[in-house]
Amino acid sequence: MQHDALKGILWIAAIWILSNLSVGLAQDALKSSESISKPNFIVILADDLGYGDTGCYGAKTIPTPNIDRLAQQGIRFTSGYCSASTCTPTRYSLLTGKYAFRQKGTGVAPPNSPSIIPAGTTTIASLLKTAGYKTSVIGKWHLGLGGPSGPDWNGTLRPGPLDFGFDECFLLPTTNDRVPQVFVKNDRVLDLDASDPLWVGDKKPSDNHPTGQTHRRELKMNWSHGHNATIHNGVSRIGFYTGGTKARFRDEDLSDHWVREADRWIRAHRSEPFFLYFCSHAIHVPRIVHERFAGTTKHGPRGDAIVEFDWSVGQIIETLKDCNLDKNTLILLCSDNGPVLDDGYEDRAIEDLGDHDPNGPFRGGKYNVFEGGLRTPMIAWWPGKLTPRVSDQIICIVDYPRTLAALAGLQVDPKDCPDSVDLSRLLLDPNGKGRDSLVVQDNGQSGSFGYREGRWKLVRCDSQRANNVELRLTPTKVPKYQLFDLEVDPGESIDLLEKNPEQARGMIERLQKTIDLQ
Ligand code: NG6
Ligand code: CA
């Protein structure tokens, strides 16, 4: 009798254990199928790459097979915009979904810039983190680091990416032409030896400190303007620094570092949804490619740097394929501003340009608000999910936060990412619509804006001067307002302002209204 009772209890216990186990297994299966259905996101941001610099956008003499393949298999946008024609404000908008002119101090950040993004700001990374994503930024940051007194290069570099939603980071802290040439891993300078502290400043640290001016003849790449302060790796930079000798990188190896880190990070997070912001330094000056890419084009370092960037894109795809993630990953590829030829170093960008058109059919480039400064190669790639096509709908990098949040199934608070538009339908549906209107800006100090509404483009230059309009840095005098019909005049050469006063007046008002919105 006792034996039977024990048997019964054991049976009940076994059934209870088994049923709970199966519920647990079912829950696990659900969890993993949920995470599989959540796509991974990779934003690949080039630096200073022009609309016409890749094969799929018309380049004939610079091979970019990897980017071209993405375009062929995905959506190639012909009206894709970065939000500013310099780096810092564009990066600010990409992360925060906010136009940079709304935030003071978002112009090109100097070497010792404190962190620019206000504490507590919702970003593309913090949003995705709330949806269970692993997040990382690998590459050029250029949004400042540290509190109001600037970066503590020998200590903890907070606030930084870790305070804006990134779990990890591996950074070029400023630009490759600004000091210091070191990596920041998470919140510290990588490989910094405490006995050789890093000092960064904007004044010569000693009378005999070698600079691009005192040692010009010994440089491996001569400067043409600016860039004549501290020398590292045979190249003089913007700003001064000493120390951190072991922590310094070789410019030639930068792309290899980004690729190696991206490969490591993707593999480590292959079984959970992830967001990787991959922001290469390429093709920013000084354009110093790895030895294996030197001379691969007839356009000198600028062309070779595009080939090297394309290679790094190809390597990321290889990693995704190897991890079997290529069908479940959306890549958005774009550039932070339009092209520039001589941006401070004598690297034959002008002399060896030949017939290549860095800004494609457009006028202008980096530093101005003509289309060449803002219209960027923009490709969305997500095999099996996006119908391959060319789209002329308007999309901007400021739209990435809300678009990716929507694809991750998130609701975004209306006060967050206020200028970002959810364009997920535009990606998923060939009949989806882009933006009705868009405001773009230059570096942000001179009151220059571009305002696009459909085929119309208003150019506003309060200073009545614009730089790099003909891809030469000499300033050009321009009227305060100009109006162009991009459908018939993509090169912005025929000012229609006087012929279309109503259209112009309306756009001037609507632009101002958008600027004034808080
Ligand atoms: C300019 C630099 C230019 C580049 C740019 C920022 C000089 C003369 N020019 O001030 O070389 O560094 O800033 O580029 O110093 S960006 O792509 O990071 O915005
Ligand atoms: Ca740039």
Q: What pLDDT does 445 receive?
A: 86
Helix 400-407 to helix 87-96 angle (10° resolution) is 30
Q: In sequence order, which residues have a C-beta less than 8 Å from that of residue 108 and are 6 or more positions away?
A: 86, 87, 88, 142, 443
List pLDDT tens digits, range 251-269. 999 999 999 999 999 999 9
Task: List residues bridging with 481 in a β-sheet.
Answer: 460
Confidence of residue 51 (pLDDT cuts 50, 70, 90): very high
Residue 355: CB atoms within 10 A of its CB come to 6
Q: What pLDDT does 7 receive?
A: 58
Task: List residues bridging with 484 in a β-sheet.
Answer: 457
List pLDDT tens digits, range 344-393. 999 999 999 999 999 999 999 999 999 999 999 999 999 999 999 999 99
Q: If you average pLDDT over every residue of the chain, what do you get?
A: 94
- Ligand 1 centroid to Cα of residue 473, in Å, is 12
Q: What pLDDT does 289 receive?
A: 98
Contact 201, 112 (CB under 8 A): yes
Answer whether 108 contacts ligand 1 (Cβ < 6 A).
Answer: yes
Give the whole-angstrom CA distance, residue 163 versus residue 126: 9
- Ligand 1 centroid to Cα of residue 471, in Å, is 14
Give the whole-angstrom CA distance, residue 110 versus residue 378: 28
Q: What pLDDT does 518 receive?
A: 74
Collapsing DSSP to helix, strand or coil, 21 comes out as helix
Task: List residues bridging with 452 in a β-sheet.
Answer: 438, 457
Answer whether 347 contacts ligand 1 (Cβ < 6 A).
Answer: no
Q: What pLDDT does 33 receive?
A: 40
Enumerate domains of the chain plus CATH numbers. 38-433 (3.40.720.10), 441-516 (3.30.1120.10)
Residues in the chain: 518
> In this structure, is the dihedral angle defined by the CA atoms of residues 372, 374, 375 and 381, taken in order, positive or negative?
positive
Answer whether 121 contacts ligand 1 (Cβ < 6 A).
Answer: no
Is pLDDT above 60 for 5?
no
Task: List residues bridging with 125 in a β-sheet.
Answer: none
Question: Can you give the C-alpha Rg of the chain in angstroms?
Answer: 25
Mean pLDDT along residues 207-229: 98
Protein residue whose Cα sits closest to atom 17 of ligand 1 = 87
Is pLDDT above 60 for 310?
yes
Question: How far from 287 is each of 254, 277, 303, 343, 511, CA to CA, in Å?
Answer: 11, 22, 9, 10, 36
Is pLDDT above 50 for 514?
yes
Protein residue whose Cα sits closest to atom 3 of ligand 1 = 343
Secondary structure (H, E, C), 210-254: CECCCCHHHCCCCECCCCCCEEECCEECECEEECCHHHECCHHHH
Confidence of residue 25 (pLDDT cuts 50, 70, 90): very low
Q: What pLDDT does 22 receive?
A: 41
Mean pLDDT along residues 387-405: 98
- Ligand 2 centroid to Cα of residue 309, in Å, is 14
Range with the lowest mean pLDDT among 8-17, 362-371, 428-437?
Answer: 8-17
Mean pLDDT along residues 210-216: 98
Instruction: Kindly give the number of the ligand 1 atom that is closest to the alpha carbon of 238.
Output: 15
Contact 123, 98 (CB under 8 A): no
93, 225, 284: residue to mutate for ligand 1 pocket, most atoms within 8 A of CB: 284
Q: What pLDDT does 30 receive?
A: 37
Protein residue whose Cα sits closest to atom 6 of ligand 1 = 108
Instruction: Kindly give the number of the ligand 1 atom that is closest to the alpha carbon of 88.
Output: 19
Q: What pLDDT does 6 receive?
A: 53
Is pLDDT above 80 for 408?
yes
- Ligand 2 centroid to Cα of residue 223, in Å, is 18
Question: Which tokens belong to 486?
Answer: 């991009």
Give the whole-angstrom CA distance, residue 404 versus residue 40: 10
Instruction: Kindly give the number of the ligand 1 atom that is closest to the alpha carbon of 284.
Output: 17
Percent of the chain with pLDDT over 90: 92
List pLDDT tens digits, range 299-308. 999 999 999 9
Is pLDDT above 70 for 118?
yes
Query: In the chain, what's the furthest Cα-to-Cα distance?
Result: 105
State the burial class of residue 201 (Cβ atoms within 10 Å of its Cβ: 0-12, 13-18, 19+).
middle
List pLDDT tens digits, range 68-108. 999 999 999 999 999 999 999 999 999 999 999 999 999 99
86, 113, 222, 240: residue to mutate for ligand 1 pocket, most atoms within 8 A of CB: 86
Question: Which tokens belong to 379?
Answer: 């490709």
Give the whole-angstrom CA distance, residue 201 versus residue 180: 10
Answer whether 371 contacts ligand 1 (Cβ < 6 A).
Answer: no
Answer whether 300 contacts ligand 1 (Cβ < 6 A).
Answer: no
Q: What pLDDT does 21 receive?
A: 43
Answer whether 205 contacts ligand 1 (Cβ < 6 A).
Answer: no
Confidence of residue 37 (pLDDT cuts 50, 70, 90): confident
Give the whole-angstrom CA distance, residue 376 versus residue 79: 8
Q: What pLDDT does 32 receive?
A: 40
Is pLDDT above 70 for 18?
no
For residue 286, whether the previous peptide bond is cis, meaning omega lies within 30 degrees of 0, is: yes
Q: What pLDDT does 9 receive?
A: 52
Answer whether 247 contacts ligand 1 (Cβ < 6 A).
Answer: no
